[in-house]
Every structure is written in C-alpha cells, then in structure tokens.
Amino acid sequence: MAGLLDGKVAIITGAGNGLGEAYAKLFAKEGASVVVNDLGGARDGTGADVSAAQKVVDAIGAAGGKAVANGDDVSTVQGGENILATAIDNFGTVDILVCNAGILRDKTFANTSEEDWDKVIKVHLKGAYCCALPVWKWMKDHGGGSMVLTSSTSGLYGNFGQTNYGAAKAGIYGMVRVMSIEGRKYNIRVMGLAPGAYTRMTSDLPGRIGKEPDPLSLPENVAPGVLFMVSDLAAEHSGKILGVSSRGVREIKMLQTGGFQPGRPYTAQEVAEHASEVFFPNAEERTAATA
C-alpha cells in the first residue's frame, strides 16, 4: 500500500526520544526518508550524545525504513544549517520539517534565573528560528513544503511554574501565524502543534508519579495526528494550531468577543458596566494539565 509520505524527505528535531522518536518511526513507515536530529542531552538541556539519534535511526533501518542521524544543537544558526545539509547530502532535498526539540527548566516566576530563562528561550524559540530559516529558504526555491512547529498549552493557556517555557511556546505560536501568511506565495504550509504525551518531559506531572502510563497517552498515539499535519491531507489548514493528545485531535484558536463598541469617547466605568460584552461568558479556565 502507498505510504502517505512516499518519496518525501522529513527533518525531525529532537527525535532521539519521546514524541520526536514516534514521529520519526511513523514517518519512515509511511515512506519518508528521515533526518533524526537529537543533541542527546538531559531533560534540562545539559550534556550531548549522538547515540540518542543513532538508536532511532538503527530501529528505523531494522524495520526497513530510511533514516540518518544528526547530533547538532538546534539552538545555533550553524546547527540549523548543518541539519538541513544532512538532509540535502543524504536525501537530496527536504519536504517536511518538524521542530520538536525541547528542554524544561521549570521554576516559579520569582525563582527564574537569567540562565534558565535564556536557555529555555534559546532551545525552543531561537531553535525554531535556527532550524526553520534554512529549510524555509530551501523550500522557497524548491516548490514548497510543510512545517510543524511545536508549541504547548503552557504558552497558549498558561501553566504554573513555566514562564520561561510558556513564553517560548507562545512565541512559537506567533511564528506559526506569521510564517503561514508569508508562506502562501511559496507553497510552504506551517502548522502549530500543542502535544500532550507521557514522555520523560511529563512523567513527573502531578498524578503521574509512580503510575503506569495510560497507553493512550504514549507518543505513538500523538504521531498519527502529526503525520496528518505534515501530509497533503492537511493542505487546507496552514496557519492552524492543533492540540493532539490522548484526548484526540482538536483545533486551538485565538478568539475575540464582539466587545463594547460605543463609537464615541467612553469612560473606564462604562467598560466595567459593559463587561458582559467585553468578556466571554462562562470563560473556561484551561491548564496544560487538563488539555
């Protein structure tokens, strides 16, 4: 049977573990040649070991798929360029990019150090820039392609203890919105992803410690949603953000109310009096834990 990604070349960053590993294995199974990038460090971004990427490449090869490992750091311009070069040197082009690499350094805002702030912003937000820009330029000159940038409910809704991470992930949301508009004329599609899965990043969330993971919460159950996003099946959906988790697949959207529109100068007191027009009724509080 024809695969959804037959003949395509995909780059997946941070694919040595967790969600990226599941995407790499599924994309390869669907016919893509895959660049498995991973720096191979610890959850907080310290350390480096290319064996993380290599083990995924070996597993893909053993299953009859095509993949190559890359151990570059996504958060440097040189790293992003090297990752693209790995795709071109080994497979001749790139059609798909999933920016997935990430780290965590959770602290309440009062306790956030400058070092932790900079590191988290650098890996997630600058990392998306460093990897997407060279690929973007390649796609622009070679007929287009599709990108998925990984955001998070932490940035889209907010989550306790994650100002650095939430800021980076909300920044990625902004990148998706702007890049999807600019990408129209080059046939480059860009979607945002807010995943939810049991990985080393989330295994110590409240309620998960010491428990066997719900099988539905494993990365393998997020991968089909992301396969949909990078494939031609999602051709009409550039610029949209999908939440993909054990609860399935859903769109997450920025909305505004009809608002208080006086059409004349107004006072602060009047805004308060028209609160039912300014604010959404029954606004639901959402957190990463419930998404």
CB of 12 to ligand NAD, least distance (A): 10
Indicate which residue of 23, 157, 165, 173 is catalytic: 165
Strands 9-12 and 66-70: unpaired
Q: How far is the CB of 45 from ligand NAD (least distance, A)?
A: 5
Tell me the sheet residues that pair with 147. 97, 190
Adjacency order of strands within the sheet including 9-12: 66-70, 33-37, 9-12, 96-99, 145-150, 188-195, 241-245, 248-252
Number of neighbours of residue 174 by Cβ within 10 angstroms? 13
Residues within the interface to ligand NAD (CB under 6 A):
13-14, 16-20, 37-41, 43, 45, 52, 73-75, 100-103, 123, 127, 150, 152, 195-197, 199-202
Smallest distance, ligand NAD to C-beta of residue 29, A: 18
Active site residue 165: yes
Q: What minimum distance in Å lies between the beta carbon of 9 and ligand NAD? A: 19
Nearer to ligand NAD, 140 or 250 (CB): 250
Nearer to ligand NAD, 199 or 231 (CB): 199
Looking at beta carbons, which residue is closest to ligand NAD?
Answer: 18
Are the C-beta atoms of residues 85 and 52 closer than 8 Å to each other?
no
In this complex, which beta carbon is closest to ligand NAD, that of residue 4 or of residue 19? 19
Q: How far is the CB of 198 from ligand NAD (least distance, A)?
A: 7
CB of 224 to ligand NAD, least distance (A): 16
Name beta bridge partners: 192.
149, 241
Residues involved in catalysis: 165
